Amino acid sequence: MAFATRLGPLTSELVEAVTHVSSQRHPERHKHHRDVVLRKLKSHPFLRTNQFDVANTLDGLEERFRVNNRDDLADNLHERLEKLQDVSTKWHPEILFLLLELSDQPTFNTELTDLELLRQPEEDDASALRWETIAQEDGWDQDAELWKSIKYSDSSDEELSYANTADGSDSLSETDPSDAEGPIRNTGTKIVHPEDESVFSSVRESQSWRTAKPATDASGRIRKVGVSEAHVFREVLFMLQGLDTTLFDRNIVPVPSFQISHIAWDTHRALINTFAEFGRRLAPLRKFMKKSQDLAHIQAFQDSIGSHLLDFDQKLSEIHARLACPQKDEVVSLMALKTELTPWLRPLHALAEVVTGMNDTSDSGAFRHLELLYQGATLAQSSEDTLIYVSLARVFVKCFNVYLRPIRLWMDEGKLQTGGSFFIYETSAELTLGRIWSDRFKFRTGVDGNLHAPMFLQPAASKIMNAGKNIVVLKRLEYQSILRHVEEEEPFLDYDSICPAGFEFAPFPDLFAAAFERWIQSKYRSTSTTLKTALFEQCALFSNLDSLERLYFMSDGSASTIFHEAIFAKMNSLDPSWRSRYFLTAIAQEAFGALLDADRLTVIVDKLGMDESPTSARDSVRSVLPHVKIDYRLTWPVQMILSSTSMENYQKIFSLLLQFKRAAYELHKPKILDHYWTDHEDWEARALYYSCRTRILWFCNTMQNYISTLVLTPHLLEMRQKLREAQDVDALIIVHDTFMKNIVDGVCLGARLEPIRECMSDIMDLAIKLEQSYAGNTTLEALSEIQKDFERHLRFITEGLRSVARAKGDSQSAKWDTLAEMLQMGNSR
C-alpha cells in the first residue's frame, strides 16, 4: 500500500514534466494522461537488472575459472572487466546479464583463440590505388587528345581521320547511324506520349464530386453534393480498411455535405451512419494493433486480432477486385454490401468490445483481456450466437496457452519466470527449510486483496501453487524419481480438446474447467504422490509422530514415570538444580533413549519458570510445570507438516499431563498402613483425610483415563488413517492441524473451556495441599475446607462441561458430557 500511495503522486509529477499539462489548469487532460501511465506502469512486468547481482556473478565466474585451473580465462575476464569500467553506460548490467544467460559452461567450452575473431582488422596505411594517381604517374593526365571520341570509317587514312578530329572543337562527334551497332538514342526517344485525353477527362469528371462546392436552390437552402452509389460503395470499402476517405472524417463521422443521388436524405443518413458505426467499432482494433506490447499473452491477443483484420481486409480486397474486373454482371448495392460483410464484422466487433473493456478498466492488469474473452464466449454461447462464441473461444484458447507458459514452467520445473505478471512469487526473507512449504512462496494479490490472476483460474490456483512446491521440495530431497513422474504426457488444451464435437450444448465454463483440471492433474497428481511417498518412507513421518506421541502424550508409561518421578523427587527436596537444562535433558534422554533418537531431545525450563522459587514450584502445579519445555528436533520435511501452532499444542497437552502426574504422585506417597497405629489417636481427621485423598485421586485417574482412552487413542487412529488417504502435503497439514485442534478441545484446553481448566488446576493444587496437611498434622477444619473446595470445584467442572456440551452440540460435546458423568459418578461414591 505504501508503494501504491507513492506511485500516484510520482506519476502525476512525471506527466506534468513531460506533457506540460498542469493539473490545476487542465485537470481532465492531466487525469487522463496520468491514468494511462499508471495502467502501463502497473501492468509492466520487468524491472531493471540488479547490477550488484551481475557483479557478484562475474566475480564468481572468475573464481570458478581459477578453481578449474583456467587462470588464462580468469586473467582475460578480469582485464576486460576493468577496461569496461572506463566506458560506462547505464545498459552495461543488462548487456552483461544477457551474456551470462546465453553462456553455456564457459569454463569448459571457452577457448582463448576465439577472442582473436573479435579483434578489428588492422587498417592498411597505404592509400587505395586510384585512376588519378596512375594518370599522374604515367603523365597522361594532361593529354587532352586521349578523351576525344574516335570516328571510325572505311578509309585507312589515319592522317585524314586525325585531321577531321583535331579541329579545335571540344564537342563530341556523332556516330554515323549506318555504322551504329545498337539503337539510335536521342531526345526523341525520351518523349512520353500522353494517353487519350478523353479518358483522362472522364476520370477527372467522375471524381469531381470530391472538390465540388454545395450549391444553393431557389429558396437559398444549401443542397447536398450528389454522389453515385458506386462511389459511396468504394468509399465505404476504403473506410472499413482504415484509410482516409472523402465521405468520412478522421473520426469516421459522415460528412453531411454529400448524399447518394436519387435517394432520400433520411435513407442516405441511416445507411451511411450504419457503415460509419461499423468503422468506428473497428477503429479500436486498428489502434490497438499499432501499439507495442511487452507481455507474450497480450502479443498473442494482438496477433489474433491481426489475423482477423487480415482476413477481413482480404475480403474487402476481393470485393474491390470483383467490381474492378467483373467476371459477370455485378450490381453495386450498399444494402447487399452490408449483408455480405455482417458475418465478417460481428466477430471483429466482439473483439473490439474486449479491447475497449481493457482500456475502460482503471486497473486492468495483465490478464483483463482473458477475462473479457472468457466472459464474452460464455455470454455468446448462452445467447446461442455460435459465430461469436466460436470466434471468441478460439482467440481465448490461443491467448490462454501463451499465458500458461509460466504456469507450465512452475509446475514442471519449480521455477518462477522473471517479471511481475505471474500470480506466484518467492519471498526474499531468510527462511528455514522447515518453512519452505508454508512461507517461501506466496500468492501475489492486488490492491483490493484479490488474487492477481484471472477469475476463471482462481479455483485451481492452490493446485498450481502446490505442484510447483512439490517440485521444489523434491529437488531439495534429491528425489530423482521425480524426473520419471513429470514426463507424463500432457493433455492438449487447444479448442478442439476443450470444446470437442458433440458437446456443443455443454456450458463453456464447464468444458474449460474440465479440460484445465485434466491438464493440472497430469502434472499435479504424480508429483503429489511422489512427495507423499518420500515423506512417509524417506523422511519417516510416522516414526517421528510416534516419537512425539511418546514424549508429549506420555504413551509409554514406564519411560514417562522414570522422567517425571526424577523431577518430582528433586522438586520436593527444594533442590533448585532440577531446573538445569543438563539435568532435565539427561534424565529425558535416559528415560526415552530406547524409544527414539535421544540426541535430538532437549528439555529446558524457560525464563519465567527459572524465576519461580523452589517453594512455589513445590506447592503449586501452576508455577513451574507449564514452563517445562520439551524440544524434539524434527527433520525439515517433517517440520513442513507439523506447524508451529501444532507444536505449541503438543506442549500444552504435555504440561497438562505433567500436572496430573504431579498431583497423582503426591497422593500416592502416603500409604494407609504406614500410620495404622497412630491414626486411631485422631481417627475423625484421618478418615476425612483418606476420604479427600480418595476422591481427588479418583478425579486425577478419571481425567487421565478420559484423556488416553476417549481423546488421544481414537483421534490418533483417525489421524493416521486420514494421513494415508491424504492426496498432497496441504491435506497432510490439514489432517494434522485438525487432529491437534480436536485433541486440545477434548482435553479442555480450548479458549471456551478456560474456566473449567482453571478449576482442574485448583483441584490438583488441593492434592498437594492435602499431602502437606497430612505430613503436618493439619486440623479437622483445614481438611473440611479442602473437602468443600474440592466439591465446589468439581460441581463447577461438571456443570460447565454439560453447559458447553449443550451449547456446541457436536461429536466433541458428547465426550464432554461423558466426562461430566464420569466425574459425578466418582464423587457420589
Q: What pLDDT is attached to residue 163?
A: 41
Question: Which uninterrupted H or E stretch holds 225?
Answer: strand 225-227
- If asked whether residues 397 and 531 sit together in one domain, one would say yes
- If asked whether residues 706 and 614 sit together in one domain, one would say no
Of residues 599 and 46, which shows the higher confidence score?
599
- If asked whether residues 625 and 503 sit together in one domain, one would say no
Q: What percent of the chain has pLDDT over 70?
A: 82
Q: What pLDDT is attached to residue 181?
A: 46
> What is the Cα–Cα distance from 60 to 80, expressed in whole angstroms?
16
Tell me if 812 sits within 8 A of 819, measured CB to CB: no
Mean pLDDT, rounded, for 577-606: 92
> What is the Cα–Cα distance from 452 to 299, expressed in whole angstroms?
19
Q: What pLDDT is attached to residue 361?
A: 63
Q: What's the pLDDT tens digit per position in 12-52?
A: 888 888 888 888 788 888 888 888 887 777 665 555 677 87
- If asked whether residues 532 and 656 sit together in one domain, one would say no
Tell me the pLDDT band of 567, cut-offs 50, 70 and 90: very high
Q: Is the pLDDT of residue 380 over 90?
A: yes
Q: What's the pLDDT tens digit per position in 382-434?
A: 998 999 999 999 999 999 999 998 999 898 888 888 766 788 888 887 888 88
> What is the Cα–Cα distance from 732 to 528, expressed in whole angstroms?
11
Angle, helix 780-808 to helix 754-775, in steps of 10 degrees:
160
Nearest to 765 by CA among 657, 561, 618, 579: 618
Q: What pLDDT is attached to residue 206?
A: 63
Grid cell at residue 476? 531439495
Q: At residue 631, what are phi and psi to the nearest 5 degrees?
A: -125, 110
Mean pLDDT, rounded, for 94-119: 80
Grid cell at residue 348? 471483429
Domain boundary among 597, 615, 641: 641
Helix (H, G, I), strand (E, B) or coil at 675: helix
To 10 degrees, the CA torsion angle through 667, 671, 672, 674? -140
Tell me the pLDDT band of 681, cut-offs 50, 70 and 90: low
Q: How many helices (H) and strands (E) does the chain have?
A: 33, 6
Helix (H, G, I), strand (E, B) or coil at 621: coil
Q: Is the pLDDT of residue 331 over 90?
A: no
Tell me if 374 sits within 8 A of 395, measured CB to CB: no
For residue 392, being part of any structural domain is answered with: yes
Range of lowest pLDDT (338-342, 433-437, 693-697, 779-783): 779-783
- Which residues neighbour 377 within 8 Å (Cβ) at sequence distance 6 or greater? 388, 389, 392, 393, 396, 508
CB atoms near residue 471 (< 10 Å) = 23
Q: What's the pLDDT tens digit per position in 696-747?
A: 999 999 999 999 999 999 999 999 999 999 989 999 999 999 999 999 999 9
Tally of domains in the chain: 6
- If asked whether residues 710 and 824 sit together in one domain, one would say yes
> What is the Cα–Cα distance from 777 to 488, expressed in whole angstroms?
80
Q: Is the pLDDT of residue 777 over 80?
A: no
- If asked whether residues 250 and 302 sit together in one domain, one would say yes
Q: What's the pLDDT tens digit per position in 222-246?
A: 667 778 888 888 889 999 988 888 8
Matching residue, cell 524457560: 606
Q: At residue 601, what are phi and psi to the nearest 5 degrees?
A: -105, 130
- If asked whether residues 304 and 404 sit together in one domain, one would say no
Grid cell at residue 162? 586525325
Grid cell at residue 478? 534429491
To 10 degrees, the CA torsion angle through 405, 410, 413, 418? 80
> What is the Cα–Cα distance from 339 to 168, expressed in whole angstroms?
81
For residue 436, being part of any structural domain is answered with: yes
700: CATH: 1.20.120.1900
Burial tier of 350 (Cβ tally within 10 Å: 0-12, 13-18, 19+): buried
Domain boundary among 84, 109, 135: 84
For residue 173, being part of any structural domain is answered with: no
For residue 820, being part of any structural domain is answered with: yes
Grid cell at residue 575? 533442590
Domain boundary among 583, 616, 641: 641
Q: What pLDDT is attached to residue 161?
A: 42
- Which residues neighbour 538 within 8 Å (Cβ) at sequence distance 6 or greater? 477, 479
> What is the Cα–Cα distance from 94 to 570, expressed in whole angstroms?
69
For residue 193, being part of any structural domain is answered with: no
For residue 366, being part of any structural domain is answered with: no
Tell me the pLDDT band of 199, cut-offs 50, 70 and 90: low
- How far, CA to CA in Å, does 283 sit from each of 111, 150, 275, 349? 56, 68, 12, 10
Q: What pLDDT is attached to residue 324?
A: 81
> What is the Cα–Cα distance from 350 to 395, expressed in whole angstroms?
11
Length of the chain: 829
Q: What pLDDT is attached to residue 776?
A: 61
Mean pLDDT, rounded, for 256-270: 84
CB atoms near residue 124 (< 10 Å) = 7
Terminal Cα distance for the chain, rounded: 66
Burial tier of 676 (Cβ tally within 10 Å: 0-12, 13-18, 19+): exposed
- If asked whether residues 576 and 440 sit together in one domain, one would say no
- If asked whether residues 655 and 774 sit together in one domain, one would say yes
- If asked whether residues 496 and 559 sit together in one domain, one would say no
Mean pLDDT of the chain: 82
Residue 726: how many CA atoms within 13 Å on its side-chain side? 25
Q: What pLDDT is attached to residue 180?
A: 42
Tell me the pLDDT band of 159, cut-offs 50, 70 and 90: very low
- If asked whether residues 565 and 486 sit together in one domain, one would say no
Q: What pLDDT is attached to residue 704?
A: 93
For residue 235, being part of any structural domain is answered with: yes
CB atoms near residue 374 (< 10 Å) = 22
Q: What percent of the chain has pLDDT over 90?
A: 33
> What is the Cα–Cα distance from 122 to 22, expressed in whole angstroms?
56
- Which residues neighbour 236 within 8 Å (Cβ) at sequence distance 6 or greater? 247, 275, 334, 337
Q: What domain range includes position 33?
A: 2-43
- If asked whether residues 686 and 759 sit together in one domain, one would say yes
pTM for the model: 0.68
Tell me if 71 sits within 8 A of 65, measured CB to CB: yes
For residue 183, being part of any structural domain is answered with: no
Nearest to 76 by CA among 16, 119, 140, 26: 119
Matching residue, cell 517440520: 639
Report the DSSP pairing between strands 601-605 and 441-443.
Answer: unpaired
Among left, alpha and beta (phi > 0; psi -120 to 50; other), residue 372 is alpha
Tell me if 599 sits within 8 A of 592, measured CB to CB: no
